[in-house]
Each structure stands twice: as structure tokens, then as C-alpha cells.
Amino acid sequence: MSKLKTSFIILVIAEFTYNISSYVVNMGLGRILGVANYGRYSLVIGFTTMIILLAGRSVPTAMMKRISENIGNWPRIRAIRRSAAFLQIIIITSLTIIFYVLAPLIAQAFNDTTLTPLFKISALVIPAFAISSFHVLYFNGLKYFKAMTTMKIARGIFRIAWIIGLAYITGLNGAIYGSILAPLSVFIVAIIIEMFFIKKEESKYTYKKESYSHKKILAYAGGFILFLIFYEFYIRADMYLIKTITGSDVNTGLYNAAFTIALIPYYVMFALTFILFPTMSDLAKKKDHHQIRDLLKKVIAFLFVILIPSAIIIAIMPEFLITMFFGDKFISAAPLIPLLLGGTIFITIFFVLASVFNGADMTRIPASITVIALISGISANIHFLPIYGITATAITFSCTATFMGLAALLFMYLKFFRQVK
């Protein structure tokens, strides 16, 4: 358990640094681009990122799980990696081409054909992001958290340098080009880490080349991608609905700014999910129920100790936070922040526990919870957004997120405490 604490501290530092960079980027873009263009950037990059996470993260996550089940078995690890890389190249190449070709239709779906050239540029984010995240998840499966820390910090630095730098020089298009160059730079860092550290460790072992069935990768990837499809669309659906229904770039920008502030604790807790997934995968395979329950008790206690004070702080100073991060032009987004606090607490709890369920091969649980929340959220927004505006969207998100967090806690109890002796 002490090793997990050390790993968590290391990753928290990395996640904190990365999230600081994310907020620096948002602060810079809000001031450089203005509310409307910031809204356009958030929509385009958010949608493209969702696509890559949906189609491009399932195979690497399956790779991470299989590797975490075979720690120390380097012949098997290398075989798993080769098999996953082959599948990933096919998926990402096809996806990039399809996304580029369909860019006009995607823009039309948002009722704004002027987004077409932006979506075409952002198609290159897909392969750039994919090769970067592939290595992050590879290191995660190996539990090389220091390597992940290095990549996270590097990505934060490159995001600021490329996105803010190019946005300042060439505006909105430059910000999108920066979103391509940042993960490409991180990929170079990953290659250096692998050449000088992973290869060195692996060279201590001699073995014959081994193969690993693609089916074993896809067997897990298929279930996990269902969760990703529903969750990634859920977490970004509000922005899409605001743009589609109201047609306003300003409303999109204001809501995304408030959302970004309200979910600060959520982004910080990402570090916890990187540790829980491979750890739960390992413990579930060993059927170590006692350690699973002990781990979950500490995780839940830690979450509430961090999340409740964070939510209170965010609730009492929305004007200060929105002005500090985005500037005076975004001040009208401040009233939305307290309305999103249900999401601050419970979407974080849900996402952390989702990594537990996914690591334990229970992907249907978080996927099912997310489907219910997604359908409810879309239905509520279609009905209330045209009447009450983005205030209704914020309240709806809090309500659905609260449901998701409570449902995840219930299933955690049923699966890991009540039935396990």
C-alpha cells in the first residue's frame, strides 16, 4: 500500500502540473481569442478529442490491462505491445481519413459550415494524440509511473508553448495546429524514455520472440469501448447541445469556461485512475478480495476529504475564479459554477470508481450507468435549454452526475463488499 501512496504522490505532481498547463492554456486562449473563438476552439478540439478517445483508446487500454496481468514476463509484454500496435495503426489511419472526409458533414451537424476547415485541420490531432496516449498507457500497464510523470509534465510544457504560442501568432487556426504539435512532441519524449530506460530493463532478459492473439486484445477492448462511447459523449454533450440548439459560440464559450472551473478537482483526480486501473486488474486476477476492500475504503475516504472542501471553495468564489482564469469578458459565466457543483463531487467519484470496475472486468456497470445519465441529460436539455438557456444545462449536468456517483457507490458496495466474504 505504501508503494501505491508513493506512486499516487508522483502522479498527483504530474497531474497537477499538467492541469496547471491546461488552465494556463484556457486562460491564454480566453484572452487571446475572445469568448466566441474560444467557444469555437473548445467545440472543435473537444469533439476531435472525443473521437480519438472513443476509437483510439480502447486498444491501448486493453493492452495496458493485459500487460498489467503479465508484469515481469517480457516476452509476453512485447508480444502484447506488437499486437496492440498493429491494431491501433489500422484503426487510427482509417479514423483520420474518415474524419477528414466527413468534416463538412460534422460542421453541418453543428449548424455552422464555417467550422469545416477547422475540423479538417483538427483531423491531424487524431494520429498525434493516438501515438502519444499509446505510450502513456503502455507505461501505465508496466506501472512505470515515473515515466508517465515525465510524459505528463512534458505534455503540459509543450501544450503551453505550442498552443499559446501559435494562437498568439496566428489566432484560432494556430491554436489548433498547436494541439497537433504538442502530443507529437510528447511522442518524441516517449521514444527517448523507451530507448534509454525500458530497453535497458528489457535487455536483462533473453527470450524467444512470442506472438499474442489480436482476439485477446479485442475481447477486452470491445467492452471497454462501449463505456468510452457513452462516457466521452456524456462529458461533452452539453457543449454540443448548446451549440446545436442555441447556435451561439458565446454561450458555448461561457459554459465551457464555467465547466472547466467547476471540474478542477475532477481533473486533478485523474492521477488516481492511472493507478487504480492496473492495480485492480492485478488484484482481481489474484482474487485478493481483502486488499480490494481495504484499497476501496481508503480511496473513498480520500475522495470525500478532498472533494467536499474543494466544492465549498469553488462555490463561494465563482466570480474571482472565472475572472482569474478567463478574464472579465467571461464574468457572466460565474453564476453557472455553483450550479455545476454536483458534478464537481459526483462525476469525480464516478470516474474514479469506473476505473475500478473497468480494471476488474466489470465494464458493463459504468457503461450502463452512463447510458442512463446520457439519455436523461439529452432529454432534459432538449426540453429545458431552449426555455431557460445554459442555466438549465448546468443544473441538468449536476443532477445526472450526482446520479452517476451515487449509483457507482451502490454498485461498489454490492460487488466488492456485500457479496465478498
Confidence of residue 262 (pLDDT cuts 50, 70, 90): very high
* pLDDT value of position 100: 95
Q: Return all residues near 29 (Cβ < 8 A) that are at least 6 apart.
A: 38, 41, 163, 164, 167, 175
Confidence of residue 358 (pLDDT cuts 50, 70, 90): confident
* pLDDT value of position 12: 66
Cell of 82: 506488437
The rounded distance, in Å, linking the Cα atoms of 56 and 174 is 24
- Cβ contact 157:294 at 8 Å: no
* pLDDT value of position 245: 92
Tens digit of each residue's pLDDT (9 = 90 or more) over 235-251 = 888 988 999 999 899 99
Cell of 31: 484572452
* pLDDT value of position 385: 95
Domain limits at 382? 2-418
What does pTM read for this prediction?
A: 0.74
Tens digit of each residue's pLDDT (9 = 90 or more) over 202-235 = 666 555 677 777 777 777 666 677 787 888 889 8
Cell of 189: 519524449
- Cβ contact 193:150 at 8 Å: yes
Cell 459526483, residue? Answer: 346
Helices (H), 110-213: 116-122, 125-142, 145-159, 165-170, 172-193, 199-202
The rounded distance, in Å, linking the Cα atoms of 243 and 393 is 12
Tens digit of each residue's pLDDT (9 = 90 or more) over 81-108 = 889 889 889 989 999 999 999 999 999 9
The rounded distance, in Å, linking the Cα atoms of 407 and 254 is 30
Q: Return all residues near 80 (Cβ < 8 A) that are at least 6 apart.
A: 63, 66, 67, 70, 212, 217
How confident is the model over 300-324, as a mean pLDDT? 91
Q: What percent of the chain has pLDDT over 90?
A: 42
Tens digit of each residue's pLDDT (9 = 90 or more) over 158-214 = 999 999 999 999 999 999 999 999 999 999 998 888 887 766 666 665 556 777 777
Tens digit of each residue's pLDDT (9 = 90 or more) over 4-49 = 556 666 666 776 677 778 878 988 998 899 999 999 998 999 889 8
In eight-state DSSP terms, residue 123 is T
How confident is the model over 343-370, as a mean pLDDT? 88
- What total of structural domains would you count in the chain? 1
